[in-house]
Structures are given as C-alpha cells and as structure tokens.
Structure 1
Amino acid sequence: MRPLTIGVDVGGTNLLAAVVDESGQVIDQLRSPTPSSAPALEQALERTVTELSSRHDVAAVGLAVAGFVSRDRTVVRFAPHLPWREAPVARRMSERFGLPVFLEHDANAAIWGEYRFGAASGGENVVLIAIGTGIGAALLVDGRMYRGSSGVAPELGHLPVVPDGRPCACGKRGCWERYCSGTALADTAIEMLAADPSQSTVLSREASADPGSITGRRVTAAAQDGDPLAAAVLADFSRWLGLGLAMVADLFDPDLIVIAGGVAGSAPLFLDDAREVYAQSLTGDGHRQLARVRGTQLGEEAAIIGAAEVAREALASGR
C-alpha cells in the first residue's frame, strides 16, 4: 500500500488540512482560520499537521498555496492573501513537521486531484478554471502539468477582456476575473442597481437597506429564489464565462475544461448558458471539436486531495 499523506489548502481565509489515502479518500480533516503573519501562520500549520500526524501514520505533507510557487516547488515567491514573500516554506515547514514537505500552487493541486480521482480523469489536455473571489487556473498538457518558465502559468484570470474596465487587484483594468467571479457577481449587481435604482426586487431592497449585504453568495441564493435582478446578474456572469471559455479553448485547444472553486457549487444556475455562449464564440465553430465542460467532482477538497497526492508521488519518486 502507498502511504497516507496530508494535504493542506493554505487559503487566505482558512486552512483546510486532511489525511488522504492512496485512492484519494479523505479520512480525517481539520479546519482553522488563516493567521495574518508568517510566524503565526507557520505555527498554525505546525499545530494542525502535528495533530493529524499524531492520529495517523503519515509519510509526507503537501501544501497547496494560493500564490506564486517556485518551479522547484520549494519557495513561495508571492501570495497576495498570505504573508509569505520569497519564503523557503518547504524547508521551514519540513523542519517543523519532521516530515518531507512539497509545495504546489492551489489551482495546480486542484487539477491534479481532479485528474487522479475526479472530473478530469481520462483527460489529456485539460484546463481547470477555479472561480471564487477571483479566477485561478491550471493546465495539463498530455497529462503533465504545465507551469511556464518561472512556475506561475497560466494566469488566465488576469487576461484583460475589457479595455479600461473595472480595476483589478493585480494593478491592471478589465481582467476576466473582474467580470466572472464571486466578487464580480456582487459588483455587477451593484452596477445594475445604480443604472436603474427603481428596480424593486428582494435583492434591490436588501441593497438599499445595507449595500454591504450584496455578496456573490447572496446573489446566487437570490437567483435560486427567482429574484429577477439576481437572474440578470447570473445571465451576465454566464456570458462572461462562456466568452472566457472560448478564449481558453482558442489558446489551448483542450479536450476538457473543469469548472471548480467556490462559485462552482452554483453551476446549475449558469453552466448550461455558459456552454452555449462558449460554443457560439469559439473560433472555427462547426469545424472543430468542442471541449467538454464539466463541474468539479471533488468540490472544496480538490486542492487538499491533489496536494496530498503530489506529496505521495514526490515521495515515491525520491524528489
């Protein structure tokens, strides 16, 4: 039997850690808030991994990080929502845990989890689009991870789609994720209300009482309840997702695209419409094969399962 490993999704808000077996099954897990300083974060990771390893015989740890990871997967170069900058995280945490530690970008970890055990199983050229606060992405070419020359590819969420459009945290304007993300759902709702303040819907009344109540999660919930403003926001989101999928397909010509991330849980509200826009917008429509577009099978556990499998495979190969 291959050994048990721990996968940790090191997010900007929460740490989600799990013991994962060779078949990709989560057998134990812990969740805790993500501290804001590097020392506190590393202490929290140590506590979490120590607790799990005291309950199970684990051989290695994989850390899925929302940020730039060096090509050799030992250093976190930059993470916008984490305190690490040019930090040798693999070495530091290995010393704390007393176990081998392997880093991976969170979207790469998610696509590897889906490839080995979920929605991307059987795919060869696969793109994963992780839609949450922003857009993360990962790419498999002939079943192998594509990282780019410095280890940070592909940053699809920051491809500009609207010249001089909405400002983005990356410093540019009009990025795809500013129109197709959980944050974008809220921004679009606010813009639609500003354009027509006379709208009278549950969502518009909530916004009038408390503008801060409009979040991506609230918009999708209102759409499920039949709110017409929320439905219009989801229609706009679907269009941007479909246009983006066509762009992704023109760039990479994948056989499969997997939609993951926090917003993917609401896929029944938008994915069919997005597929239609995608099919209509693809260059050479009617003269090429459409990539299959699937929702995630592993959900929020994709990154931890993938990180644990990365660690298991690296350990087996002696890397």
Structure 2
Amino acid sequence: MSLAIGIDIGGTKVAGGLVDEEGNVIARARRDTPHRSTKAAVVEDLLVSVVDELDAVAERDSLGDVSAVGIGAAGFVGADRSTVVFAPHLSWRNEPLRENLRARCTHPVFVDNDANTACWAEWRFGAVRGESHLVMVNLGTGIGGAVLFDGEIQRGRYGIAGEFGHMQVVPGGLRCECGNRGCWEQYASGNALVREARSLLAAESPMAHDIADTLGGDLTKLTGPMITEAASAGDATAAELLAEIGTWLGTGLANLASAFDPSAFVIGGGVSAAGDMLLGPAREAFRKQLPGRGYRPEARIAQAQLGNEAGLVGAADLARSAVKGNVA
C-alpha cells in the first residue's frame, strides 16, 4: 500500500494522518498547536515527532511504505511550496520549513497553504470530485480560499492566491485584523456570526433570550457551533443570524464568479456545518447578485464533505502527487 503522511496545522491543534491512495486516513496523531511565541525550532521538533510516530505505526502494523510528507499551514506559503512567509498562529516569518524538515525526515517534504490542501482533497475525494474549474471558500474564524483549474492548484506568482476573506465588500466598513476596513470575512465568517449574536445579547434584545438562557449570562461562552445548534433546534434568531451570514457569503461568491467563472464552489470550514441554513440564503443571494444572471451558466454551490480531515488528506495526497511528478 502506498501511503503518505499529511499534517494540518490549525489554530488549536496539529493533526497528522497516514493517508492511502483513496484518501482514507488509516492512522492518526495529534498535538496541541504551540503558542505563537514558540521558537520555530520547537515547532519543527513537534512536526518531526508526528512524522516519526506515524512512520512507526506504518512499520509496526506493516501498512505499507510512506512516500512523502505534506504539511498544510494556515497563512502565506511561498509558490516554491517550501517557505512559510507568514503564519498567524505561529512565529514563522519567511521560515524555510521544507528545507529544515527535509534535513530531519527520510521522506520528501512539501508545504502548502491549508486551504489549498483542503480544496485538493474535496476535488480528489469529496464534494466536487472531478470538477474542471473550482473555487473553495473556507468559513472558519476568518475566510480562507483556494482555486483549482484543470487539476492544478492556482497559487499565484508569490503563492498567496486565495485570500478571499480580505476582499473589500463594504468600503469604510468594519475594521479587519489585516488592517483594512470592510473585508468580506468581517461579514461572512465564524467571527462575524458570533459578533452579531453578542451584539444582540449585549443589547438585551428579547430576540436573543433563548441564546442568553443557554449561556447563563456569560457572553464569553458563545461560539459559532452553539448558534448553529440553536438554529437546528428551532431558534428563529439563531437561524436569522445564519441566514445573514449566508447572504453575505452569496454576495462574495457572486464577486468570485465574476473573477474566476468556476463550475462549482465548495464551502468548507466550521461554519459550513450549518448546511442549508447557511447555503440556502447563500444560493439565493448568489443568484440575485450574479452579473448577467439568467444569461449565463450558474456555478453550483456545494457543502464540503471531508470535514476536519480535509486539510491533512489533501496535504498527503498533494505530496504523493508531487513525488510521482503528477502535480498540482
């Protein structure tokens, strides 16, 4: 069996897995994400420990040979698939990660943006298998994204393509962590969902009584999944908040359709767990905002299927493909 190791570095956890050629994760390893002040060498020690653990499992259980290691990291990864230019959760700044790890691993190593790896996984094994022109939008704390055309990830000249969350949709709008105002992720992300719910709670709106009762008055406990759960249980206000986020999502997708003309959008990330409560309003807004609507083919909008493991599955498969010379 041909295996590859995929590692997904998120804000709270580092998830690793042994992945076969069909995209199945047959062994897993997990570590907590180090604090952003942690030195780069310490983070590399952690990654090597994950690789070593999964290598040992493959050898112990006679699962097959490991051909490559792929790493998906949140942040800016250079077009060389080697250098982490900037990682918001870690201290990496122009970090030559691939070179450093290659000196310590027996396998070829490839580094990529985590949205690219998730997009690849959904194209190879998930919700948009086989689509020719694909855009992925990941709705988490912020918004990440990726573009795939004719079987190749489009990384841009400097490797930083797909940062859709920082398109300006409201001139002079809400301040974003990137330093600008009115960015898309201020209106269509998990942070936006929680912010809007907290504003209702802080105003002691009667519309938010059910959510307030769940929290016991402690606004710091509020999370996006709680709002989704409340909406699923019939809370009209929670459903309205999700619909508002969905409307902003659809508006942004219409802009992306103008730029890329894809055959499909795939929506991933934690907020996508809301399913049609989010995607229904998104599709409606998309149709209303799409330029030339009624006179052009309309891209389908699909919910991602692979969940939290998409990043590591895609990282592994991209690395395997690179070793075979097929890639991406």
**Which ranges of structure 1 fall in alignment gaps of 5 or more residues?**
none
Correspondence list, 1:50-199, <5 A: 50-56=52-58, 57-194=65-202, 197-199=205-207
| CA deviation after TM superposition for structure 1 residue 265, in Å | 1.6
**In 2, Cα distance between the equivalents of 1:318 and 1:43?**
30
Aligned counterpart, 2:62? none
| CA deviation after TM superposition for structure 1 residue 318, in Å | 9.2
How many residues are matched?
Answer: 318
Aligned counterpart, 2:5? 6
Aligned counterpart, 2:49? 47
Per-residue CA shift, 1:211-248, capped at 9, x if unaligned? 11222122111111222221221121111111111111
| CA deviation after TM superposition for structure 1 residue 92, in Å | 1.0
Residue 82 of structure 2 aligns with an amino acid whose one-letter code is T
Per-residue CA shift, 1:85-142, capped at 9, x if unaligned? 1111001112222221101111111111111111221211100001111111000123
1:282 corresponds to which of 282, 287, 290: 290
Select between 268-277 and 6-15 the one with higher mean Cα deviation.
268-277
Residue 234 of structure 1 aligns with an amino acid whose one-letter code is L
RMSD: 1.7
**In 2, Cα distance between the equivalents of 1:318 and 1:238?**
36
CA contact (8 A) 1:8 1:17 kept: yes
Distance 1:318 1:140, change over 3 A: closer
**In 2, Cα distance between the equivalents of 1:296 and 1:161?**
24
2:246 is aligned with 1:247: no
Counterpart secondary structure, 1:9: strand
Residue 43 of structure 1 aligns with an amino acid whose one-letter code is D
Per-residue CA shift, 1:48-67, capped at 9, x if unaligned? 11010011131210000111
Per-residue CA shift, 1:243-280, capped at 9, x if unaligned? 11111111111101001111112213211221111111
Counterpart secondary structure, 1:96: coil
Aligned counterpart, 1:34? 33
CA contact (8 A) 2:4 2:19 kept: yes
Distance 1:132 1:152, change over 3 A: same
| CA deviation after TM superposition for structure 1 residue 146, in Å | 1.0
**In 1, Cα distance between the equivalents of 2:224 and 2:296?**
35
Counterpart secondary structure, 1:97: coil
**In 2, Cα distance between the equivalents of 1:17 and 1:178?**
30
TM-score by length of 2: 0.92
| CA deviation after TM superposition for structure 1 residue 199, in Å | 3.6
Distance 1:169 1:94, change over 3 A: same
CA contact (8 A) 1:201 1:228 kept: no
Aligned counterpart, 1:221? 229
TM-score by length of 1: 0.95
**In 2, Cα distance between the equivalents of 1:207 and 1:194?**
12
2:21 is aligned with 1:19: no
**In 2, Cα distance between the equivalents of 1:206 and 1:26?**
36
2:268 corresponds to which of 249, 252, 260: 260
**In 2, Cα distance between the equivalents of 1:242 and 1:317?**
37
Counterpart secondary structure, 1:209: coil
Residue 271 of structure 1 aligns with an amino acid whose one-letter code is L
Counterpart secondary structure, 2:104: helix
Residue identity (%):
45
Counterpart secondary structure, 2:271: helix
Counterpart secondary structure, 2:103: helix
Select between 277-286 and 36-45 the one with higher mean Cα deviation.
36-45
Select between 37-46 and 256-265 the one with higher mean Cα deviation.
37-46
Counterpart secondary structure, 2:275: helix
2:294 is aligned with 1:294: no
| CA deviation after TM superposition for structure 1 residue 151, in Å | 0.8
| CA deviation after TM superposition for structure 1 residue 206, in Å | 4.7
**In 2, Cα distance between the equivalents of 1:240 and 1:146?**
25
**In 1, Cα distance between the equivalents of 2:251 and 2:326?**
42
**In 2, Cα distance between the equivalents of 1:108 and 1:200?**
37
CA contact (8 A) 1:59 1:99 kept: yes
CA contact (8 A) 1:201 1:227 kept: no
